[in-house]
Amino acid sequence: MKDYRPESLYKAAGSEVDKARYPVIDMHSHNQYAESPEEIREWIQTMDEVGIEKAILLTKATGAQFDSLHAVFSQWEDRFELWCGIDYTGYETDENFTENAIEELERLHDMGAGGIGELGDKGEGLFYSTPTQAFGMHIDDPRMSPILDKAGQLNMPIHVHMAEPIWMYQEMDSTNDGLMNAYEWRLDNKAGIKSHDQMMQILENAVRDHPNTTFIAAHMANSAYDLSNLDRMLDTYPNLYSEIGARYSELSQTPRHVAAFINKHQDRIFYGTDMGRSPEMYKTTFKILETEDEHFYRHDLFGYHWSLNGFGLEDNVLQKVYRNNALKLLNQ
């Protein structure tokens, strides 16, 4: 079954979307997609062709690594904005960890880091930022509290990848609907790992306890299977936002439900990709957001066996998700 690549025979796929209907700000991308000036120029050419105005690069970096990235990408600051990581060095042993992390965060802010991210925790602890990973410490840990407050004072939104899609936590057996992709990213075999529900509570703890800090729940909080908790949190906490990056396949399984969710929270949802920089990738995301096409495949982009379905978002909602919501956040 690992080679299962069905082809749709349904005549309901519609036409391709070669360019976004409105200008787009991509709130979830990464610097690793272009590692030389030549590749950056190629990326910008693709962005121009498909309608991407600007990309937020979640570098996860601190120290010399961020400095080197800033030296390169600052040449194209109208097309890319760099966000930084948090330096977790000494989080287990150094009583000055928090003070040192804040000092580095202030330095990165002064260099031009527009926000923080992406911070990542799949249940074992914070691990995305470089050069140090912080397994065993979660974002709601008391050691993190002054750092989160400082981010709010510096007007630096925090982009947080919490948990993974639910299928990665389930048994890898014949009942797992997302087995083909879940097996590659499985978490069910991790000893002592936090559950998906526990990770959502950790996210809520941080958002609730730091009302003056803006949080962005990456990947729709990895809750495509049940958006009710994210729905409640968006209703409850005005400092919480979310973005769609790299969860188009999961979300497109329930297109009417997801469209209704986005319509309800249209002022709090961002466009994102987190899937490289190919023209076909961008075009597929536009097709899902803009059309009501049904039962089409993109096996090269998604690891599931599922077909895809479009949300058919209305123009006023598209404009907010594509660009206007990001502009409000970035210019606040």
| 321 in any annotated domain | yes
Q: In this structure, what CATH number is given to the domain that contains residue 238?
A: 3.20.20.140
| 280 in any annotated domain | yes
Per-residue pLDDT, 15: 83
Domain containing 291 equals 24-330
Q: Note the pLDDT tens digit of each residue in 93-140.
A: 999 999 999 999 999 999 999 999 999 999 999 999 889 999 999 999
Residue 126's beta-bridge partner residues? 134
- At 47 the three-state DSSP class reads helix
Q: Note the pLDDT tens digit of each residue in 128-158.
A: 988 999 999 999 999 999 999 999 999 999 9
| 17 in any annotated domain | no
Q: Note the pLDDT tens digit of each residue in 214-241.
A: 999 999 999 999 999 999 999 999 999 9
Across the chain, the runs of DSSP E, i.e. the strands, are: 24-29, 52-58, 80-83, 116-121, 125-126, 134-135, 158-162, 215-217, 240-243, 269-270
Per-residue pLDDT, 11: 86
Q: Note the pLDDT tens digit of each residue in 248-271.
A: 999 999 999 999 999 999 999 999
| 230 in any annotated domain | yes
Number of domains into which the chain is organized:
1
| 240 in any annotated domain | yes
| 234 in any annotated domain | yes
Per-residue pLDDT, 108: 98
- Mean pLDDT computed over 160-178: 96
Position 46 pLDDT exceeds 90 = yes
CA atoms within 13 A on the CB side of 220: 27
| 18 in any annotated domain | no
| 19 in any annotated domain | no
Position 2 pLDDT exceeds 80 = no
pLDDT confidence of 332, banded at 50, 70, 90?
low
Q: Note the pLDDT tens digit of each residue in 272-292.
A: 999 999 999 999 999 999 999
Q: Note the pLDDT tens digit of each residue in 47-71.
A: 999 999 999 999 999 999 999 999 9
Using CA atoms, how far apart are residues 157 and 259, in angstroms rounded to an integer? 25
Quick one: what percent of the chain has pLDDT higher than 70? 99
